[in-house]
Chains A and B, each alone.
Chain A
Amino acid sequence: MTESPIDQSVFAELQDAMGSDFVEELVTTFLDEAPGILTELKRAAEMGEQNTLRRAAHSLKSNANIFGAHELAELTRQMEISGLEPEPSQIDILNAEFKRTATTLKDLLDG
């Protein structure tokens, strides 16, 4: 867990291709949008709404891949393909990984 949740080379490449200002806007948008998607995912898991759950996991996965958040991408990918309702503990793990990712992303923007 000491490893950075963000793959620095992917992030640097993104900044290089798109411009740092734009990446800042992109990260801010992600940090604004993702908590809503996580809430939706949790709700869908509780209600047993498979499609909504899959879509929310899919959405987070694609965003995680943009920033090189490999662990977050893997957790959401598992949820997307398994299609099963995740255990509450899995949701907790996902939330924790998102917090870790968000903190690192903020640090990267400030740094």
Chain B
Amino acid sequence: MGESGSRLLIVDDNKVNRLLLSRSVELLGYHASVAENGKIAMQRLRDETFDLLLLDIEMPEMDGFEVLEAIKLDPALRDLPVIVTSSVEGIDNVVRCIELGAEDYLSKPVNPVLLKARLASGLEKKRLRDEQRVLLERFATSEVALDLQESGFALGGRQVNASVLFCDIRGFTALSENQPPEETIELLNIYYTLMFEAIDCHGGIVTLMIGDGLMALFGAPQPLEDPARCAVSAAQDMLAMIEQFNLDRVVADKPEIRIGIGIATGEVVAGYAGTQQRATYTCIGSKVNLAARLEAHTKVIGCEILIDDDTRSALDEKVGLKTIHQVQLKGFSDPRDVYSVVFHQSQ
């Protein structure tokens, strides 16, 4: 019966009540943990993972109302279903629980049939919410998912100061023509995993993936103190990871892969673009074009990372930068100085 293995936390200051509730949910096939007041409960909720909370109201230290308030304020706990089990007197207290976000209210002693039905329904809601969140994260990255959960979805953008990063694999088409398609997909999966990791680590989000190319944004939707520094650090980590990956490829007798990265910093418009049915978090602006052109130019001059003047200005450490004078980039009328970030091969 039920989702066996679902983990429930029972909060009640009375030992007899804790015992009875634990036994009741265990008989229904769930796993029960207990806490004797709100304070202990909040600690356990933050340290462990639970699927549902059975909460008493009258408790010393921190009562049920305070627990409901704390859960509501915590983005990581907000979706946890809470069923209040209490025998507080007065309908206004029940109303207060529901207003504070409780899923349901069961008066004590809890009727086993009602308990069973409410638990099943609460856990099903939790399962659907989790599923939705996983889907959202798979297609949107956790930052965008958080932004969507916090402010809701609305088409439209805003001006932000951000760094845009473009990256792709050199000679990928030739590489993929010389190997079976499954191997190409596997290579792409590993490549994306590594790149996502490096970008994520420095607070960036991947906004676009096309074949072997990707675009990442640093500074939106969540603002970063120093987006340029984050983007350059991410780029260096990306190269370090590829270098590590190549060691494995050499051992497996496969050709090494090379990547090129372009970074530009400045004002961009970031936001959701598309239709009400299908939209993506993206950014637009001449800095986006510039970053793409810089990435393309890494192939021309045979370097790994190229950054624009605004990115360079934002870096407090300018060592390891090599100026490339007066480069004429496609789509930009005036030639400009760009900078190659020297990547120090480890070992």
Q: Which residues of A contact B (CB under 8 A)?
A: 17-18, 22, 25-26, 29-30, 33, 54-55, 58-59, 61-63, 65-66, 77, 80-81
What chain B residues lie within 8 Å of A30 (beta carbons)?
Answer: 16
CB pair A18 B23 closer than 8 Å? yes
Which residue of chain A has its CB nearest to the CB of B113?
Answer: A17
What chain A residues lie within 8 Å of B88 (beta carbons)?
Answer: 58
Query: Which residue of the partner chain, among B14, B27, B89, contacts A18 with CB atoms under 8 Å?
Result: B27
What chain B residues lie within 8 Å of A62 (beta carbons)?
Answer: 14, 17, 87, 108-109
Q: Could you name 15 residue pairs across A and B whose Cβ atoms are closer than 8 Å?
A: A18-B23, A25-B19, A26-B19, A26-B20, A29-B19, A30-B16, A33-B14, A54-B58, A55-B59, A62-B14, A62-B108, A62-B109, A63-B17, A65-B109, A66-B16
Known: A26-B16, A29-B16. A58 touches B60 (CB 8 A): no
CB pair A65 B15 closer than 8 Å? no
Instruction: Count chain A CB atoms within 10 A of each CB in B24, B89, B109, B112 and give the residue with the most.
Output: B109
B13 located at the interface, meaning its Cβ lies under 8 Å from any Cβ of chain A in the complex: yes
What chain B residues lie within 8 Å of A29 (beta carbons)?
Answer: 15-16, 19
Known: A22-B23, A59-B58, A80-B89. A33 touches B16 (CB 8 A): yes
Q: Which residues of chain B (26-62) have a CB below 8 Å from chain A?
A: 27, 58-60
Which residue of chain A has its CB nearest to the CB of B24?
Answer: A18
Docked Cα-Cα span, A86 to B71, in Å, equals: 36
> A59 CB to closest chain B CB, in angstroms?
5
CB pair B58 A58 closer than 8 Å? yes
**Interface residues in B, total, Cβ within 8 A:** 19
Docked Cα-Cα span, A81 to B90, in Å, equals: 9
Taken residue by residue from 50 to 90, chain B's Cβ proximity to chain A (1 for < 8 Å, 0 otherwise) reads as 00000000111000000000000000000000000001110
Query: Which residue of the partner chain, among A25, A33, A54, A66, contacts B109 with CB atoms under 8 Å?
Result: A66
What chain A residues lie within 8 Å of B24 (beta carbons)?
Answer: 18
What chain A residues lie within 8 Å of B60 (beta carbons)?
Answer: 55
> A28 CB to closest chain B CB, in angstroms?
10
* Nearest 8 interchain pairs by C-beta: A66-B109, A58-B58, A59-B14, A62-B87, A63-B16, A30-B16, A62-B108, A65-B109
Which residue of chain A has its CB nearest to the CB of B87?
Answer: A62
Which residue of chain A has its CB nearest to the CB of B57?
Answer: A58
Taken residue by residue from 306 to 346, chain B's Cβ proximity to chain A (1 for < 8 Å, 0 otherwise) reads as 00000000000000000000000000000000000000000
Docked Cα-Cα span, A26 to B21, in Å, equals: 11
What chain A residues lie within 8 Å of B112 (beta carbons)?
Answer: 17
What chain A residues lie within 8 Å of B23 (beta carbons)?
Answer: 18, 22, 26
Docked Cα-Cα span, A26 to B23, in Å, equals: 10
> A80 CB to closest chain B CB, in angstroms?
6
Which residue of chain A has its CB nearest to the CB of B111?
Answer: A17
Docked Cα-Cα span, A18 to B88, in Å, equals: 24
Instruction: Count chain B CB atoms within 10 A of each CB in A17, A29, A58, A62 and give the residue with the most.
Output: A62
What chain B residues lie within 8 Å of A77 (beta carbons)?
Answer: 89
CB pair A55 B19 closer than 8 Å? no
CB pair A65 B87 closer than 8 Å? yes
